[in-house]
Amino acid sequence: MINIKVKTVLLGNSKVGKTSLVRRFIENKFIDSDVSTIGGAFVSKEVFSSSYGEVSLCIWDTAGEEKYESVTRAFYRNANAAIVCYDVTCAKSWSRAKGWVSKLRQFEEKCVIYLCATKLDLIKEMSASKAVSEDVLSAYISSVNIKQHFETSSKSGENVDIMFKTIANDYIQLNKENFAEYENLCLTSNDSEKTCCFKFF
Ligand SMILES: Nc1nc2c(ncn2[C@@H]2O[C@H](COP(=O)(O)OP(=O)(O)OP(=O)(O)O)[C@@H](O)[C@H]2O)c(=O)[nH]1
Ligand SMILES: [Mg+2]
């Protein structure tokens, strides 16, 4: 069996809710806190067991404040997946999200990009309006090859778990052939017991 680690990075404007998404996924909690992330933070969680072995997400939560932008490059280098976040009610955060997508396309060609609209509860409960129309959104998604767009709320928990699990599952599906090849290598080798950590980053 292989220990599969999927390097996943969260990017987006300050205050869009990146840390809240991670906290909801890891601890199943929502804390209304105004403390901004400094630099970046790392967490890891085992998501499910695949036929190849345990799949863990290694999550890098980055700081959205512009003064940290140059260090953020170090966090998304060799990422397998990126969650580019924007606040569903905030047009400025949508512009910045598009900026992150361009950067990823420029520097990390192999990175699979997901778009995440955050704070969906504000639309549902506070009757706020969406910053981006459906038409603009779908035209953009098909023009830049976004794997999937999620609408989430860390406050209610809506779609948070499913987003992270989809990312882990997509990774397995996209790399099936590599895993099969690796398993064959293990089977043809003489060692009776294998402890191996399989990484694509
Ligand atoms: N209503 C609502 N508020 C949210 C949600 N997610 C985050 N917030 C609030 O938005 C603010 C910013 O959340 P953070 O998770 O710290 O944002 P961040 O993107 O990590 O910000 P930086 O660390 O500065 O980049 C906090 O006051 C959160 O409580 C949500 O789903 N719904
Ligand atoms: Mg944060």
Rounded to whole angstroms, the Cα distance separating 78 from 73 reads 10
Ligand 1 center–CA 189 separation, angstroms: 49
Q: Which of 20, 32, 87, 159 to mutate to test the pocket of ligand 1 (most atoms within 8 A of CB)?
A: 20
For ligand 1, whether the C-beta of 159 sits within 6 Å is no
Residues of the chain with pLDDT under 50: 192-201
For ligand 1, whether the C-beta of 34 sits within 6 Å is yes
The pLDDT tens digits of the residues spanning 124-161 come to 888 889 999 999 999 999 999 999 999 999 999 999 99
Which residue's alpha carbon is nearest to atom 1 within ligand 1?
119
User: 97-103 — which CB contacts under 8 Å span 24+ positions?
Assistant: 97/11, 97/12, 97/13, 98/140, 100/11, 100/12, 101/144, 101/146, 103/76
**pTM of the predicted model as reported, rounded to 2 decimal places:** 0.92
Correct CATH for 2-198 of 3.40.309.10, 3.40.50.300, 3.40.50.620, 3.40.1390.10? 3.40.50.300
Angle 196-160-111 from CA coordinates, rounded to 5°: 50
Task: Give the per-residue pLDDT at 146.
Answer: 96
Task: Give the per-residue pLDDT at 197.
Answer: 43
Task: Give the per-residue pLDDT at 4.
Answer: 93
For ligand 1, whether the C-beta of 22 sits within 6 Å is no
Ligand 2 center–CA 111 separation, angstroms: 21
Task: Give the per-residue pLDDT at 109.
Answer: 93
Residue partners of 92: CB distance under 8 A and separation at least 6: 13
What is the domain partition of the chain in residue ranges? 2-198
